[in-house]
Amino acid sequence: MTQPSVTTDRATAPVRAEVARRRTFAVISHPDAGKSTLTEALALHARVINEAGAIHGKAGRKSTVSDWMEMEKARGISVSSTALQFAYHSGASVDGRPGIDAVVNLVDTPGHSDFSEDTYRVLTAVDAAVMLIDAAKGLEPQTLKLFQVCRHRGIPVITVVNKWDRPGQAPLELMDEISTRIGLEPTPVYWPVGIAGDFRGLLDRRTGDYVRFTRTAGGSTIAPQEHLSAARAAEREGDAWTTAVEESELLSATGADHDEELFLAGQTSPVLFGSAVLNFGVSQLLDLLIDLAPPPRARLDVDEQPREVTDPFSAVVFKVQAGLDSAHRDRLAYMRVVSGVFERGMVVTNAATGKPFTTKYAQSVFGRDRSTVDTAYPGDVVGLVNALSLTVGDTLYSDKPVQFPPIPQFAPEHFRVLRGSVGGKAKQFRRAVEQMDSEGVVQVLRNEVRGESAPVLAAVGPMQFEVVAARMKSEFDVDAQMEPLPYALARRTDAESAAELDRQRGIEVFTRGDGVLLALVSDRWRLQYIQKELPRLTLEPLVAAA
Ligand code: GDP
């Protein structure tokens, strides 16, 4: 290997310094586990720099950004997913490393299961995930699904057991559940003192010390915490402390101690207990993230060559959104910076088309309050306004060309045929379909028999169809009619198999927007029958959402 020259080292030093202090993560959880509450608690502990979108406001709580669609308001769910950036000064690590002025990017994931495809894309933009679990409910379906994506992508996971201020399961049982149900070995770093519902503080298993919390009214301010030695903790908490110490020893005896290599490989997960609503454990979570979660790293391109963080600017578009705010009718593309320095105004190249894109309108805050981003580093999320030419998965770069692999599309399970309203709106209809397709709101499938005017929409969850209908109406003034199709599965096929598959009952072949041939199949039995009778035909599973 050639040694980097001294001048290159010097030139890239500022980027390396910015990368070293950055952590980009998402919270994965089941609805109601406390993601919004935790996000607000994190913001309370940190200095918010940029909000690229929504901490979705629930009734009675301050909403940071206006909801972008009436439907979203009516349902009280967040359809969009964006990013919040904040600064946090972490304490020194237990092994003596000094604290750092960190920059944290929290990329929001929508909570509703029907928007899972969108959530999966968000997970391509992060370097770590926080798995938030309700102490009483344990692992829930949505968390399991999202965890599988983290595993698939090799994203390291930190686990937070939330709501410890309320009655819940025994802590060792929860650890067992994580280990046996998902095969992720929990390595608790902070162990609770006091059973669920009697939350007194945390045993720091790395030092053996005690962090004792005091409640504040309504959890609206940072909860005061005292650091006590084990001896003082024993005097103060009696049996609750003894139990915590015994359980911690039991964990050590079974090897459940943090191991950096295994954590980064996605095999173990550091665990922390907390209460988002009381702000207990929130600063510990931030310290853990900064201490343990990886900073942005090199990303492999389509040729499996690493794009180093110090290489010239490059980024991946992981989300595209239109109609965010009726006052700003435009199309926003969110990119995650992979390498180099982004400067607003720079002209970048879209690797898919080879065309230039001007980034004059780079922004970090959407909705009512927008602010301009001037500079961004690897790990940061930047919103590009007027990004009509950008689609999900696009690579942007300056100077040194690069193309990153496409973001995987998930196996759709719901299919509807779309028809526009009668009347001379064929052009709007086509434009609307094109828009939904390029944003990836749904997958759009076509075949010759059905023609252009009756494309088939394929979704991971049925609510995606409602979004399409609402947006076609509000943005294109098209009344979309949808009829369900009698298919339940999609399989990837090829040109050689297509004609013969099309002749089978209960099967229809389509071309997806990205050129992939998909065979839609009525049910599992039909699929098994065809696979048995005609084994030479290609019917490959797609990446499953669950
Ligand atoms: P999300 O759907 O995951 O965003 O969940 P929310 O943050 O909206 O929380 C769901 C409910 O749980 C709300 O009523 C919260 O006040 C409550 N909640 C969140 N965190 C805690 C916690 O640590 N303890 C208790 N007791 N309630 C909590």
Q: What is the pLDDT of residues 486-506, one digit of tens each?
A: 999 999 999 999 999 999 999
> Pick the residue with more confidence: 205 or 419?
205
pLDDT, one tens digit per residue, over 401-438 is 999 998 877 788 899 999 876 666 888 898 889 888 87
Is 138 a residue whose pLDDT tops 80?
yes
Residue of 27, 36, 37 best suited for mutating to test ligand 1, as the one with most atoms within 8 Å of CB: 37
Is 371 a residue whose pLDDT tops 70?
no
What pLDDT score does 499 carry?
A: 94
Find the 275 Cα to ligand 1 centroid distance in Å: 9
CA–CA separation, 187 vs 44, rounded Å?
A: 27
Residue of 58, 277, 278 best suited for mutating to test ligand 1, as the one with most atoms within 8 Å of CB: 277
User: Model confidence at 541, in pLDDT bands (50, 70, 90)?
Assistant: confident
- Across residues 390-395, what is the average pLDDT? 89
Q: List CB contacts of 124: < 8 A, sequence separation 6 or more.
A: 153, 316, 318, 336, 407
CA–CA separation, 362 vs 346, rounded Å?
A: 10
What pLDDT score does 77 carry?
A: 34
User: Model confidence at 546, in pLDDT bands (50, 70, 90)?
Assistant: very low
Of the ranges 69-73, 111-115, 253-257, the best mean pLDDT one:
253-257
Q: Which residue has the tokens 């999900």?
A: 392
User: Whose Cα sits closest to atom 17 in ligand 1?
Assistant: 34
What pLDDT score does 51 carry?
A: 54
User: Model confidence at 74, in pLDDT bands (50, 70, 90)?
Assistant: very low
What pLDDT score does 389 carry?
A: 82
Helix (H) or strand (E) holding 191: strand 190-193
> Pick the residue with more confidence: 149 or 208?
208
Find the 147 Cα to ligand 1 centroid distance in Å: 20
Residue 319 Cβ contacting ligand 1 at under 6 Å: no
- Across residues 478-482, what is the average pLDDT? 90
pLDDT, mean over the chain: 85
User: Whose Cα sits closest to atom 25 in ligand 1?
Assistant: 163
pLDDT, one tens digit per residue, over 224-244 is 899 999 999 999 999 999 999
Residue 296 Cβ contacting ligand 1 at under 6 Å: no
What pLDDT score does 64 carry?
A: 36
Is 370 a residue whose pLDDT tops 60?
no
Is 357 a residue whose pLDDT tops 50?
yes
Q: List CB contacts of 466: < 8 A, sequence separation 6 or more.
A: 71
User: Model confidence at 111, in pLDDT bands (50, 70, 90)?
Assistant: low
> Pick the residue with more confidence: 440 or 76?
440
> Pick the residue with more confidence: 81 or 353?
353
Counting residues of the chain whose pLDDT is more than 70, the rounded percentage is 84
Q: Is 44 exposed, middle or buried (0-12, 13-18, 19+ CB in 10 A)?
A: middle
Residues annotated within the binding site for GTP are 108-112
Query: In which region does residue 497 sit, left (phi positive, over 0), alpha (psi from -120 to 50) or beta (all else)?
Result: alpha
Residue 277 Cβ contacting ligand 1 at under 6 Å: yes
Q: List CB contacts of 45: < 8 A, sequence separation 6 or more.
A: 88, 222, 279, 282, 283, 286
